[in-house]
Structure 1
Amino acid sequence: MRLASAFLCLGLLFAAPFAEASTRYIVKNRRIEPNQPLAVALEEAGLPPEQTTALIAALEGVFDFRKSRVGDQFRLVIREGELDFFGYRQSAVDEWQVRRDGDKYIGSKRAIEVEKQVALVSLEINNSLYEAALAAGEDPIIGMVLADVFAWDIDFYRDVRKGDRARALVEKFVSKGRILRYGEVLAATYEGESVGSKRVFRYELPDGKASFFQEDGASARKAFLKSPLKYAHVTSGFGSRFHPVLQYVKAHNGVDYAASIGTPVWAVADGTVTVANNTGAGGNTVCLRHTNGFETCYLHLSKYGAGVRVGARVSQKQVIAYSGNTGRSTGPHLHYALKRGGRYVNPLNQNFPRTEPLPKHLMADFHAKIAPMAQQLDAVSVAAAGVGAQQ
């Protein structure tokens, strides 16, 4: 809806120069429909074939319309029966234009001014991160950004409680006052009833790689993530259960997460792929071998991630597959199993160690760089406490 409104505003801008009383203009706004190539869409909008050919030729090398997507918007301005202007919008920062110049058509990509800002985001959770983001006037995608930052310590379905608070110092890419996307999280805190207080800072190491560390230099990373999915709830825990298909009590050597088909599945730790095929009852399955005798398996998948095959190395947080409903399954979900020393263990009650802390010789530089970020986070906290005291 916001894209359509923005395009309407552009239409008003386009219309201003075309208001000459002696010239007849026709403006047509359309969207690309399913299974509709651009040429067909233009034809159905009433553009003659020769003008369609000229229009697409003007954008050769500028935009390949074979990459058109359902929902893309376009505008035709017809002057005295001839195409005078064509605008094509794919996103808030991706717009192309064709203008008539005498007997020729000239195509170009419209320049969109984008500004990078660093801003504080404060969320109070009363129901979900999604609703908390909306209430704060933020794009709900910020919830996924924070879930990524705290993935080693917080399961954002099981661990979140009403009244929890999150704050983040984050990059925002803005155009005309509208958030296009979030960039890097520079610092973040989470204060939760079940997880306590978490506070992390992004720091770039001498090799150019960035990671998150706690204020004392301890790594925010752990050997294993708390969950193979960013958002999902457990529908069946570890241990014996009545099997819904086999209709008898059977050991359940893992946990089941509710997940719609196509939900990205993370590798919970660095590892090597040992299984990447259909295992019958387990459906499409990926298993990984990790260090210290750990193995993980992910079952009932719809498809595998790029490059996932037996023998391939994968990294923590790499998308190794997509959840599905294959094998002996009563509905879309992910079955996740963890082995330690060849024996199944409950993945929900494991306490994995953190990775290597920040080297001591970097601590002075680290504290100097995070000091201003810590002050900004604390300023929000103090301000919020002051408002509460006045009430």
Structure 2
Amino acid sequence: MRFAPLLCLAALLAAPLASASSRYEVRNRRIEPRQTLAQALHTAALPDAQVEAVISALEGVFDFRKSRVGDQFRLVMRNGELDFFDYRQSTVDEWQVRRDGEKYVGSKRTIEVEKQVALVTLEISTSLYEAALAAGEDPGIGMVLADVFAWDIDFYRDTRKGDRARALVEKFVSKGRVLRYGEVLAAAYDGGLVGTKRVFRYALPDGQATYFQEDGSSARKTFLKSPLKYAHVTSGFGSRLHPVLKYLKNHNGVDYGAPIGTPVWAVADGTVTTAAHTGAGGNTVCVRHTNGFETCYLHLSKFGAGVRAGSRVSQKQVIAYSGNTGRSTGPHLHFALKRGGQFVNPLNQKFPRADPLAKALLPDYLSKVQVLASQLDSVSVAASAASAGPGPRAAP
């Protein structure tokens, strides 16, 4: 008799399973190359009528032209028929189709995203990427900092072990996870080679925001230090043994190692003079700038949107993507700079800064910078106090 309660419990647990009539199946798939969403659904063995129902439910909700390779989707089947469908492009872009009686209803899933302002501190031992990981940050913070300091620091050539970076930056967070970084409100870099750099974001009266140094002088220069956010120099300017032709030849530019498809910046405002395949140079873009300067970007995989001879481009605009076209031994970007028609070394040029902040705006700017600077420096003050240990105790 003492086993009766256990037998009764087993019977209760088994009863729902025995009486259940629904059978569920989950299919997880991805969009493959040269595949539309409808084709992917057919490949996932969804019946034709239900494929049409899903596509119809998403019309006006999801732009099918934006479906891309690698997008994930899930089918939940109940007794062989679709019960639920969800389609995910990112942590914040997700669409769903639910069964509602005899019809299907599509919608974009609402995901709560919170914007926070956080202080990020990085200490470089090997690279900015590794420093971000060591600090528990997404490596994307490195690209954000490379953007902010693009006029003063080449984050491949100029960084040294022991350099420190701090940034007061917006974080977009969902369920405790950082989805992306937003604007950098203030940033500081203390480097063994480049010294101390501090920049602050300020919105001008016309609504455009840009970066200035602490005294109101511009953080911008007429030219960026590099046409890539983050890449290493594989071949410098000057005479070298040509890797293809196998004889000494002047290398009238700088080569940056970069995977095919890496975005290439215009280093300064200007007018495109060339956007074409040039033989040995492969796909090439050349831009004419003020004061007799011209830049050229070679071996590209493709050109940026709207980039053609005669078009205007602005500093930091993506004008092309790195590649391996023309006479090239591997994926890279060849970057050349001319001054007065003569090639010069892009790595040793010193360019002037843009105009400083207007004097009428300086009082407002300085008052706002004072607040940002105190937040930016709070971590270093706390760290200094901790490293110094407890101070002397007051006499009783």
Give TM-score scaled by structure 2 length: 0.90
Query: Which whole-Å deviations, capped at 9, do the CAs of 1:103-123 have from their partners, x for residues lacking one?
Result: 222111111111111111111
CA distance in 2, matches of 1:280, 1:52: 48
Q: Matched residue of 1:39: which SS?
A: helix
Equivalent positions of 1:355-370 (< 5 A) are 355-370=354-369
Q: Check the 8 A contact 2:29/2:44 in 1, yes or no.
A: no
Map of 2:81 onto structure 1? 82
Query: Which whole-Å deviations, capped at 9, do the CAs of 1:211-246 have from their partners, x for residues lacking one?
Result: 100000010000100011111111221121222222
Question: Cα distance 1:86–1:21, how it changes in 2: closer, same or farther (>3 A)?
Answer: farther
After TM superposition, the structure 1 stretch with the greater mean CA deviation from structure 2, 380-389 or 147-156, is 380-389
- Structure 2 alignment gaps of length 5 or more: 1-15, 391-396
CA distance in 1, matches of 2:217, 2:63: 48
Q: Matched residue of 1:91: which SS?
A: coil
Q: Check the 8 A contact 1:23/1:79 in 2, yes or no.
A: no
Map of 1:220 onto structure 2? 219
State the Cα distance separating 1:78 from its structure 2 match. Answer: 2.7
Q: Check the 8 A contact 1:133/1:139 in 2, yes or no.
A: yes
CA distance in 2, matches of 1:318, 1:262: 15
Give TM-score scaled by structure 1 length: 0.91
Map of 2:394 onto structure 1? none
Q: Check the 8 A contact 1:28/1:45 in 2, yes or no.
A: no
CA distance in 2, matches of 1:77, 1:377: 49
Q: Matched residue of 2:50: which SS?
A: helix
Q: Check the 8 A contact 1:29/1:73 in 2, yes or no.
A: no
State the Cα distance separating 1:70 from its structure 2 match. Answer: 2.8
State the Cα distance separating 1:47 from its structure 2 match. Answer: 2.8
Residue 30 (structure 2) pairs with residue 32 (structure 1): yes
State the Cα distance separating 1:44 from its structure 2 match. Answer: 4.2
State the Cα distance separating 1:21 from its structure 2 match. Answer: 5.6
Question: Cα distance 1:27–1:306, how it changes in 2: closer, same or farther (>3 A)?
Answer: same
CA distance in 2, matches of 1:212, 1:21: 68
Equivalent positions of 1:9-88 (< 5 A) are 22-35=20-33, 36-88=35-87
CA distance in 1, matches of 2:94, 2:149: 35
Equivalent positions of 1:72-151 (< 5 A) are 72-151=71-150
Q: Matched residue of 1:285: which SS?
A: strand
Query: Which one-letter code corresponds to 2:32 in the other structure?
Result: P
CA distance in 2, matches of 1:337, 1:244: 18
Q: Check the 8 A contact 2:300/2:320 in 1, yes or no.
A: yes
Q: Check the 8 A contact 2:121/2:166 in 1, yes or no.
A: yes
Map of 1:313 onto structure 2? 312
Q: Matched residue of 1:146: which SS?
A: helix
Equivalent positions of 1:1-391 (< 5 A) are 22-35=20-33, 36-390=35-389
State the Cα distance separating 1:382 from its structure 2 match. Answer: 0.8
Query: Which whole-Å deviations, capped at 9, do the CAs of 1:21-78 have from their partners, x for residues lacking one?
Result: 6342313131224244333433444432222222221222112445333332222233
State the Cα distance separating 1:19 from its structure 2 match. Answer: 9.2
Query: Which one-letter code corresponds to 1:34 in the other structure?
Result: E
Q: Check the 8 A contact 1:25/1:77 in 2, yes or no.
A: no
Q: Matched residue of 1:198: which SS?
A: strand
State the Cα distance separating 1:278 from its structure 2 match. Answer: 2.1
State the Cα distance separating 1:280 from its structure 2 match. Answer: 2.0
CA distance in 2, matches of 1:257, 1:45: 43
Query: Which one-letter code corresponds to 1:389 in the other structure?
Result: A
Query: Which one-letter code corresponds to 1:76 in the other structure?
Result: L
CA distance in 2, matches of 1:282, 1:47: 49
CA distance in 2, matches of 1:334, 1:345: 17
CA distance in 2, matches of 1:64, 1:265: 28
Between structure 1 and structure 2, the one with the greater Rg is: 2
CA distance in 2, matches of 1:48, 1:281: 52
Query: Which one-letter code corresponds to 1:235 in the other structure?
Result: T
Instruction: State, as a whole percentage, how many aligned pairs show the same letter.
Output: 76
State the Cα distance separating 1:300 from its structure 2 match. Answer: 1.6
Map of 2:10 onto structure 1? none
Query: Which one-letter code corresponds to 1:259 in the other structure?
Result: A
CA distance in 2, matches of 1:118, 1:159: 28
Q: Check the 8 A contact 1:288/1:295 in 2, yes or no.
A: yes
Q: Matched residue of 1:61: which SS?
A: coil
Query: Which whole-Å deviations, capped at 9, do the CAs of 1:272-318 have from their partners, x for residues lacking one?
Result: 11122222222221111111111111112221111111111110111
Query: Which one-letter code corresponds to 1:226 in the other structure?
Result: K
CA distance in 1, matches of 2:18, 2:55: 28
State the Cα distance separating 1:132 from its structure 2 match. Answer: 1.1
State the Cα distance separating 1:370 from its structure 2 match. Answer: 1.7
After TM superposition, the structure 1 stretch with the greater mean CA deviation from structure 2, 234-243 or 210-219, is 234-243
